Structure 1
Amino acid sequence: MVEIKTPEQIAKMRAAGLVVAAMHKACREAAVPGATTKDLDQVAAKVLAEHDAKPNFLGYGGFPGNICTSVNDVVVHGIPDTQTVLASGDIISIDAGAIIDGWHGDAAITVFVGEGHAAELHELSRVTEESMWAGVAAMRKGNRLVDISKAVEGYVRRQPRPSSGKYGIIEDYGGHGIGSQMHMDPHLLNYVDRRRGRGPKLVPGVCLAIEPMLSLGTPKTHVLADEWTVKTDDGTWSSHWEHSVAITEQGPLVLTAPDGGKAKLAEYGITAAPDPLG
């Protein structure tokens, strides 16, 4: 069952999404050489407290952090700790979430630590982020779930190949419904699997977290002994970008983007829905 939200509930999710955006801004600024991933977690906790919001990651299935901090070849679900010290040249995906009045926001960014990054890493992050926006642009009334998957995969496949041969679209993890819970139906693949059919129709009130994850090599991953940390099988580095998006009668609203997605959606000729919080 896909949960359909009222405009009032979407407004609550927008409030949670803005907290997530504030968490990302603070964590991006704190992701400097010498900082630990636990330092970033504490920064995120401070932002949550300042906005009277709850973390939706902390305690979820036993997860011990307020955010996920995934460095280099860690794709997702990296646990913040004091042993992982960021160094110049690292990349880190910061997956953050917040709850306001029982409604969830969830988004991820890839951050470059210090200097000295190869151009191929910048391109990896760019392709991942832009494939996410291609998926966001496909999230409109009348489309089907598979249209989002098709848009994400299609964007990636149209890009110049990296030296490794092709981008690996991570297969075991993808987007999801979001609302009164962080993870809800439907599951959203970042590639087209024709065995799954076209999926549900997208109608006003549907809210999805669109989150492509790409590597510079294999799409295959494994989970470490901590039962959370997900790494690429071949050790290639990865990027992760995510936004939570709502379909409204007035168009898409990117709940976790500070401007509601106006600037990026305009590049696709799409007008973002008015911000319910003004």
Structure 2
Amino acid sequence: MTNDGPVGTTNRPTPDAAPDAAAGSLSNDLPGPSSGFVQSLARGLSVIRVFGADQPLMTLSDIARATGLTRATTRRFLMTLIELGYVRSDGRNFALTAKVLELGFSYLSGITLPEVAQPHLEELSHSIGEATSAAILDGSDIVYIVRVPTHRIMSVGINLGTRLPAYATSMGRVLLAGLAPDALSSYLHDVKLQALTERTVVSEGALIAELDAVRSHGWAVVDQELEPGLRSIAAPLRDGSGAVVAAINISTAASSGTSESIRERFLPSLQQTAADISADLALADRAGR
């Protein structure tokens, strides 16, 4: 007979009646035993992992079935997790508490922006088959902090730490559009706008108009202003307060389409990636406080 009744001091753990089931369970996903492998810890973590957005509340039987553990083992893990504050129960159903976030905060508080952005940009590059990058603003230049190349489309090699003029790059336009008015005025006062190609915007008024458009749209496309044959599209990365802290872009050969077609092809994926990275940055920021 099953029993999903209250878990309390009167329901003392009993010895496992049989080895834990494995078929079709989370325990199947656990690595095989090794000299340093602690199976009980792995099983306890599987109890936490079984909860999700589609299953925020689960009974003892649900959890035992999903993890492949016996009911007695599952009960002991749940009692321990309740005692530690990671799980709560109304007597029948179990749910995670916000305290489980602490398990990841130590890691999140120590990671840097490039470490957050790198896997997202690798996934984006793989899905679209084009180079992706992330950069920050440093003075009048952008500085590359992440680069996922595919094939070389620029005469100048791009590596981590490469600096390029902000006004002639898509990531630079996004970063400049995110500046406070005083900071942007200082930038415009100090920068010398030079024609890098015949398409480069070198008028301060025209650049300000471009930045106004970027601020309105939330993205920037630069068409062969940095180098002939190179076109790129960029979107901002924001921290928990909503401030622009970096930018990401997709760069491609101008021969692969028009500015409009590139926007249609790449902007949705770019914006989704920017949103995902920004969400991770916000979480890391909260963890570090």
TM-score class, shorter-chain normalisation, is: under 0.3
TM-score (norm 1): 0.27
The structure richer in helix per residue is 2
The structure richer in strand per residue is 1
TM-score (norm 2): 0.26
Higher relative contact order by CA 8 Å / sep ≥ 6: 1 or 2? Answer: 1
Q: Which has the larger radius of gyration?
A: 2
